[in-house]
């Protein structure tokens, strides 16, 4: 699918980060875009950017929690009505959230919230939207995993269980769909995206989605941590979105986003048995 003009594209988590940039860039190609997010305010900012970038572009915003199948069905129905269609061409399962690092010291509720959004949202959105992809003459399902989908660590001294487990599930699910779609819906392709460190407000979003009520000092810390994460990223969200769209155009089923993702993938493959030794994790680059 090299041309997105007039294609109907669905993006979860379109209010910030890579999701926002996907919405902007897809709209600029002439696609009709529908996005969902938990934050109406963030989606309004995305739409304002689209209107400035691409006047006249058609973008639908719908508030939905991707861990709730009923809300995803409402999102689907809004798309069918808005674009007077019975199909979609592109489905970007992009929404995700960090949290629940430890099975031992963290609250179960935070662990499960992370897992239900980051894995459950991909599974449920695929369940809801796959019939619409199948109904199109050609379509692509794009699932965002992470480097934490092939390497379950952010360092030897920091547990990272919920997010890593969720991203491993996304990777396995997406790879399993390759054969399923080839046999049962060969006109639908599936793509696995594994970004490295991308400049997104992932820390800030986690505080909001987990409904954390920090003290003033904690709020300042979270804000500083979020800025640091964004500012030190080797790749911007806009660059990541561009890499994803180019991967879809060139029919790649596996897209590693960022030089750090490529380097870590090679390193883990070279020494899988030692991948979780303390000495293995060193800064890449």
Which regions of 14-138 does DSSP assign to beta strands (E)? Answer: 32-37, 59-63, 90-93
In a domain, 79, yes or no: yes
Q: What is the pLDDT of residue 77?
A: 98
Q: What is the pLDDT of residue 1?
A: 87
Please work out, in degrees rounded to the nearest 5, the angle formed at the alpha carbon of residue 41 by the alpha carbons of 112 and 115.
Answer: 10
Which residues participate in catalysis according to the annotation? 163
Report the domain count for the chain.
1
Beta-carbon count within 10 A of 129 CB: 23
Tens of pLDDT, residue by residue over 73-118, are: 999 999 999 999 999 999 999 999 988 899 999 999 999 999 999 9
In a domain, 80, yes or no: yes
In a domain, 270, yes or no: no
Task: Name 90's bridge partners.
Answer: 9, 140
In a domain, 268, yes or no: no
Q: What is the pLDDT of residue 200?
A: 67
Beta-carbon count within 10 A of 150 CB: 20
Q: What is the pLDDT of residue 221?
A: 40
In a domain, 221, yes or no: no
Q: What is the pLDDT of residue 281?
A: 75
Q: Cβ distance 4 to 31 under 8 Å? A: yes
Q: Which domain holds residue 50?
A: 8-200+237-259
Is 90 exceeded by the pLDDT of residue 40? yes
In a domain, 138, yes or no: yes
In a domain, 165, yes or no: yes
Please work out, in degrees rounded to the nearest 5, the angle formed at the alpha carbon of residue 235 by the alpha carbons of 263 and 173.
Answer: 65
The CATH number that applies at residue 24 is 3.40.50.720
In a domain, 222, yes or no: no
pTM of this structure: 0.90
258: left (phi over 0), alpha (psi -120 to 50) or beta: left
Is 70 exceeded by the pLDDT of residue 283? no
């Amino acid at each position: 699918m090299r041309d997105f003009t007039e294609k109907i594209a669905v993006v979860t988590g379109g209010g910030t980060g890579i999701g926002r940039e996907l919405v902007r860039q897809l709209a600029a190609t002439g696609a009709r875009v529908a996005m969902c997010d938990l934050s109406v305010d963030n989606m309004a900012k995305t739409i304002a950017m689209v209107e400035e970038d691409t006047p006249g572009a058609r973008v639908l915003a719908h508030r939905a929690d991707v861990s709730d199948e009923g809300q995803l069905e409402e999102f689907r129905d809004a798309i069918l009505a808005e674009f007077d269609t019975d199909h979609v061409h592109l489905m970007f399962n992009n929404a995700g959230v960090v949290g629940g690092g430890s099975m031992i010291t963290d609250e179960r509720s935070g662990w499960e919230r992370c897992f239900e959004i980051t894995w459950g949202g991909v599974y449920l959105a695929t369940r809801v939207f796959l019939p619409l992809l199948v109904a199109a003459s050609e379509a692509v399902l794009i699932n965002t995993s992470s480097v934490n989908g092939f390497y379950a660590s952010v360092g030897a001294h920091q547990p990272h269980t919920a997010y890593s487990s969720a991203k491993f599930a996304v990777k396995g699910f997406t790879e399993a769909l390759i054969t399923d779609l080839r046999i049962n819906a060969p006109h639908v392709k599936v793509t696995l995206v594994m970004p490295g460190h991308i400049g997104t407000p992932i820390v800030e979003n986690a505080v909001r989605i987990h409904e954390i009520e920090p003290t003033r000092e904690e709020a300042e810390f979270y804000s500083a941590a979020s800025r640091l994460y964004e500012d030190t990223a080797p790749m911007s969200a806009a660059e990541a979105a561009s890499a994803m769209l180019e991967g879809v155009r060139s029919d790649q089923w596996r897209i590693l986003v960022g030089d750090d993702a490529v380097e870590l993938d090679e390193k883990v493959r070279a020494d899988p048995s030692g991948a979780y030794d303390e000495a293995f994790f060193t800064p890449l680059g």
